[in-house]
C-alpha cells in the first residue's frame, strides 16, 4: 500500500514473475484504501442474485482481524477527547481473536518494534501505520483443544 502498487522484483524473486505480465492482469493492478468504494456499485446480475438494490456500494476487503480492528479503532468518542481526532485513534490497541489472535495499534508515523509485524501503511485504517503482533494459529489451536 505504501508504494501504491505491487513490488515486481518480489514476484520475480519468489518465482512468480508471471504475475507481473500484462500489467498484473492475473492479480489486479489497482490499489485502494480499506473500505474504499469501488466502481459504481452492484451490477444487475449481482442485485438479482443477492436481493439488493442496483448501485449498492461495493468496498475493498480486509482480512478478518483488520476488519474487526476498524470498529474499535474508529469508535474513539470525539466529544470526550481533548486531543486532535487524528491523534486520539493512536492511543488504543485492539485485540481481535478468531482464525488468528492479533494485537494491533495504529500511528501517524512508522514505528518499528523488534519481533512485531509492520509498520504497514493504510493496512487497516487509511493513512495510518499499522503495527501488529500475535499468534496466527490460535483458531485452529482452540478448535483442537475443544475437540480433544
User: Which residues constitute the domain of residue 37?
Assistant: 8-59
Q: Which residue has the higher pLDDT, 82 or 133?
A: 133
pLDDT at residue 123 in the model: 87
pLDDT at residue 74 in the model: 67
pLDDT digits (tens, 9 = 90+) for 132-145: 998 877 877 777 78
Q: Is residue 15 domain-shared with residue 42, that is, in the same domain? A: yes
Q: How many domains does the chain have?
A: 2
Among 22, 37, 59, the domain boundary falls at 59
Q: How far is CA 103 from CA 72, 85, 98, 119, in A?
A: 12, 22, 12, 13
Q: Is residue 54 domain-shared with residue 100, that is, in the same domain? A: no
**62 alpha-carbon distance from chain centroid:** 4
Q: Is residue 38 domain-shared with residue 111, that is, in the same domain? A: no
Give, for 13, the enclosing helix (H) or strand (E).
helix 8-13
Q: What average pLDDT does the structure give for the chain?
A: 83
> What residue has cell string 456499485?
41
pLDDT digits (tens, 9 = 90+) for 100-121: 788 999 999 999 999 899 999 8
Amino acid at each position: 500500500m505504501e508504494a501504491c502498487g505491487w513490488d515486481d522484483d518480489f514476484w520475480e524473486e519468489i518465482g512468480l514473475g508471471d504475475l507481473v505480465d500484462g500489467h498484473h492482469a492475473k492479480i489486479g493492478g489497482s490499489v485502494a484504501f480499506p473500505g474504499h468504494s469501488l466502481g459504481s456499485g452492484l451490477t444487475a446480475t449481482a442485485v438479482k442474485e443477492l436481493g439488493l438494490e442496483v448501485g449498492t456500494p461495493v468496498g475493498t476487503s480486509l482480512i478478518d482481524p483488520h476488519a474487526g480492528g476498524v470498529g474499535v479503532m474508529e469508535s474513539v468518542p470525539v466529544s470526550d477527547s481533548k486531543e486532535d481526532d487524528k491523534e486520539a485513534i493512536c492511543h488504543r490497541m485492539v485485540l481481535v481473536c478468531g482464525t488468528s489472535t492479533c494485537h494491533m495499534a495504529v500511528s501517524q508515523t512508522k514505528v518499528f518494534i523488534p519481533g512485531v509485524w509492520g509498520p504497514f501503511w493504510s493496512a487497516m485504517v487509511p493513512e495510518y501505520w499499522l503495527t501488529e503482533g500475535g499468534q496466527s494459529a490460535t483458531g485452529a489451536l482452540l478448535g483442537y483443544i475443544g475437540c480433544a
